[in-house]
Amino acid sequence: MANTGANAAGSLGMFFPLILMGFFLYFFVMKPQKKRQKEVMDMRSSLKVGDTVILYSGLIGLIIEIKDDTMVLECAPDNTHLTFKNWSVREVVINDTDDDDEIEEDDEDIEIDEEK
């Protein structure tokens, strides 16, 4: 009788590492992956005409038309119009032209201080 209790405890101890690995896979692999997928889906659903995007192929273009699952990009330098699937977008480029102007103004202040 004592052996059956010891065997039950031993078999539970044998499954504990498997249960621990299951929790590890869920919290450190599957959950972050689902979060990244949600962020990508949100980014793709928020695409709008006028956004500049970078595709997985490295192509950079301006969105000029969006249909159900496709978009038309205008690419420099000759304003070629190309049609791509929405899933090919890797990221949306954010233009910070206002920040660049502020940096240039700060640089001018520094130059004045150096002359004194």
pLDDT at 96: 62
Angstrom distance (rounded) from CA 25 to CA 83? 39
CA dist list (Å): 65 to 13, 25, 28, 81, 100 = 60, 41, 39, 10, 29
Question: Would you put residue 54 in left (φ > 0), alpha (ψ -120 to 50) or beta?
Answer: beta
pLDDT at 57: 93
pLDDT at 4: 60
Please report, in tens digits, the pLDDT of each residue of the chain (116 residues total). 556 655 666 677 788 888 999 999 998 999 999 999 999 999 988 999 999 999 999 999 999 999 989 999 999 888 899 999 999 999 999 876 554 445 455 555 555 555 54
Domains of the chain: 9-93 (2.30.30)
pLDDT at 81: 93
pTM of the model: 0.61
